[in-house]
Amino acid sequence: MSTGTVTRAATAPVNEVARYSYPERAVHWINAIAYTYCMVTGLALFTPFMYWMAAVLGGGATVRFWHPWVGLVYLVTIIWMQSQWKSDMEPIPEDKKWNDNLRSYVENQDDKMPPQGRFNAGQKMFWKGMFWCTLILLITGVVMWFPELLPREAHFLLTFFVFIHSAVALVTIALFIIHVYMSVWMTPGSLKSMMDGTVSSNYAQSHHRLWYEKVTGRKG
């Protein structure tokens, strides 16, 4: 289980802090690719208006076959990240202050935000949302994958499972869009940290001061 430290910290360049280890970055990108595939193929299977995406990816039969299998890859990466980041995702007193100042965060007034750990309160909410949605997608997806598991007299429930699966998938798509927007455009440095594993000392102090002080032993 993660303790908030990152291996290979000593290899970080001057004025930079090692934020994500190579295994963390590798699993993250596998997770992102698997999710993107499931999102695209899921939308293709969800509505005829987007079925053209299935044709691009090999046809309806192909995406119908690979969608659940890639979904399992996505599930494995989620479980791995949960095992690594569980302690970092635990709530701390500063999270409430962060939530109370959410408007300042949206307006990029970082100086008004309370110090945060390795992940801020917003990242924790995103993670919990994706984690629990993934479990629901797993349960409903298995029933859709193997409808014969349902007793004959309960087959009417299949429609219910399809509805829940689709609705929860749409929730994850909304979360995914927010995540990409925040990582790429709103907080410069986040994407870089998932590419080379490091962030600048200024970034670490500004966005994750408690974590920065813990891993470096220096006060901001």
- pLDDT tens, the chain, 220 aa long: 444 444 333 455 568 899 999 999 999 999 999 999 999 999 999 999 999 999 999 999 999 999 999 999 999 999 999 999 999 999 999 999 898 888 888 777 777 888 999 999 999 999 999 999 999 999 999 999 998 888 887 778 889 999 999 999 999 999 999 999 988 888 878 888 999 999 999 889 888 999 999 998 877 5
Measured CA to CA, the distance from residue 83 to residue 98 in angstroms comes to: 25
Tell which residue, 110, 119, 114, has the closest CA to residue 97: 114
Query: Structural domains in the chain?
Result: 9-216 (1.20.950.20)
For residue 61, what is the DSSP state? H
- Token digits for 35? 């999710």
The reported pTM is: 0.86
Measured CA to CA, the distance from residue 47 to residue 141 in angstroms comes to: 17
